[in-house]
Amino acid sequence: MLDAVSNNAARPADTVAREYLKTRRYIGSADRRALSERVWGILRRRARLDWWLARQGAEPTARARVLADLALTDGATPEQANRLLDGRPHHPYPLSPDERGLIGALSGRSLFHHDMPESVRGEYPDWLEPLLREAFGDTMPAEVAALRDEAAVDLRANSLKCDREQAIAALAAEGITAQPTALSPLGMRLSGRVALGIQPPFRDGLVEVQDEGSQIVAMLVGARPGHAVADYCAGAGGKTLAIAAAMENKGRLVALDIHTRRAERARDRLRRAGVHNVIHHILGEPGDKWPKRHAASFDRVLADAPCSGSGTWRRNPDARWHLTPQDLDELNALQADILDRSARLVKPGGRLIYATCSVFRREDEDQVERFLTNHPDFRLLSVADLWAETVGTPCPVEGPMLRLTPARHHTDGFFAAVMERAPVA
């Protein structure tokens, strides 16, 4: 499976892994779980494993990474590894003499070593170090360590059907322990991994999987019953669901995207959640006059722009290795274009909310500052001032823009800025 993920860099690792397992029905549920945990663990430890392999003169193939991980993470000896790699049907082929020597040399060593460069210890490409240092300053070691670790599973109570306490009780009835989150008044954090898809609270639409930071971004939209709201990059609909619940199914919520398949997936989620005030529109089709017809007609517009995803490395550990400087340049241009286009939909006195799941300033603060320079009819509102109005819990930030990070806030890395268009004089 690691080979399949490594050889399909253009596709999300979880999609590749899901397809891999789907075509191998002979793998039992326990083995599937163990296989997935091993692959995702290796993706999180890739730089450190490769550093040790290079030290031993070994090529960083998928098999070599597995062997190094068995030795360094599990402390496996050659004999213990050989019992796993025994060549039986559907099992890996036995160790070669060189592989036995590799495991013997690494067994019992720590995954960390004092000679490792900071980028290896932090699991990120060298070229990203200036961007990470600019984002985090003196807290960078703690922040990249948090981005390296596995994320918890967060849920959001669907306020169209229940409150958080009722959701926690419904989960508890199924033997699932969930704790209230500190920032989101609708958030819950699970104590472990759960097959949520088969659980009644999920199937009945009482809860949705959504990181606490993403929940906060949706709340900062400030959508209210009766508003006209546009979710400009709606994707699979996570924030659309949260916004619809805040609107109590009253008003008009338009989910905009350029991918029909994502819109179809979102429709299934909306039906399960009991949402019925959402209209889908696919942007960019030939002759599409929708943006022009709906200019200056929305109270709230959320521009949740495509980005590097650097704030979600805990969940997508392979993404950091696929990002290139050219990708980032192209994303920056796309983000600026989306901000300009989505701003045209905001009515006078309405709000534009720009958000990313990136930790890089050039995708976040720099984009907002460029936009405000070019659009003097918009002004930046203080997130700290809006927090009581939109979220209601103690605000964790002091500045005008929101930045949430794994180390400080125990969420994914999220950024948001709320801008208001000047009312008609």
Q: Would you say 130 and 108 are in contact if contact means Cβ atoms under 8 Å apart? A: no
- Cα–Cα separations (whole angstroms), residue 99 to 39, 65, 71, 409: 19, 11, 11, 42
Nearest to 36, CA basis, from 317, 251, 281? 317
CA distance 407 to 141: 10
Q: Which residue has the tokens 């005030």?
A: 277
CA 406 to the chain's CA centroid: 12
Phi and psi (nearest 5°) for 176? -110, 120
- What is the secondary structure of 1-36 as a DSSP string? -HHHHHT-TTS-HHHHHHHHHHT-TTS-HHHHHHHH
- Cα–Cα separations (whole angstroms), residue 356 to 164, 231, 311: 26, 13, 9
Nearest to 2, CA basis, from 72, 64, 87, 62? 62
CA angle 267–271–274, rounded 5-degree value: 135
Q: Are strands 252-257 and 278-282 parallel, antiparallel or unpaired?
A: parallel
Residue of 162, 233, 307, 357 marked active site: 357
Nearest to 213, CA basis, from 82, 407, 10? 407
Q: Would you say 62 and 6 are in contact if contact means Cβ atoms under 8 Å apart? A: yes
CA distance 382 to 337: 24
Phi and psi (nearest 5°) for 28? -70, 165
- What is the secondary structure of 252-281 as a DSSP string? EEEEEES-HHHHHHHHHHHHHHT---EEEE
Phi and psi (nearest 5°) for 254? -105, 120
Q: Is 357 a catalytic residue?
A: yes
Q: Would you say 351 and 421 are in contact if contact means Cβ atoms under 8 Å apart? A: yes
CA distance 330 to 187: 34
Residues recognised as catalytic = 357
